């Protein structure tokens, strides 16, 4: 028997410039500057949130039928809560689809 250790075929990745650091999550990607989204209901005071108006609520629903989050829609917290409530009420009386496979009126 020989005293040699078996060599491994695995090599640790190099951590240099342009390489992925070994920390959790990997490198942070810089996003280009994007304009701050403004809540359209705060900007235009005459707009109202009503569950009986599915046309205005459809802007806040994805094509899968899910409610779009604040960071994407640009709504403030107060109006996002009102929109969520209105969408749920409209779904309850079948003005809006509950899921993607439901037909839109």
Question: Domains in the chain and their CATH numbers?
Answer: 40-92 (4.10.640.10)
Sequence-distant (6+) residues with CB within 8 A of 81 are none
Q: What is the structure's pLDDT at 97?
A: 85
**The pTM of the whole model exceeds 0.75:** no
- Quick: pLDDT tens for 6-27: 666 766 665 555 555 555 666 7
Residue 35: pLDDT band by 50, 70, 90 thresholds? confident
């Amino acid at each position: 028997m020989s005293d040699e250790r078996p060599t491994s075929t695995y090599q640790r990745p190099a951590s240099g410039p342009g390489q992925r650091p070994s920390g959790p999550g990997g490198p942070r990607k810089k996003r280009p500057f994007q304009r701050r989204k403004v809540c359209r209901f705060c900007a235009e005071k005459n707009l109202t949130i009503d569950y009986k108006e599915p046309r205005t609520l459809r802007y806040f629903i994805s094509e899968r039928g899910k409610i779009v989050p604040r960071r994407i829609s640009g709504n403030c917290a107060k109006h996002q809560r009102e929109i969520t409530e209105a969408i749920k009420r409209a779904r309850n009386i079948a003005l809006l689809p509950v899921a993607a496979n439901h037909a839109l009126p």
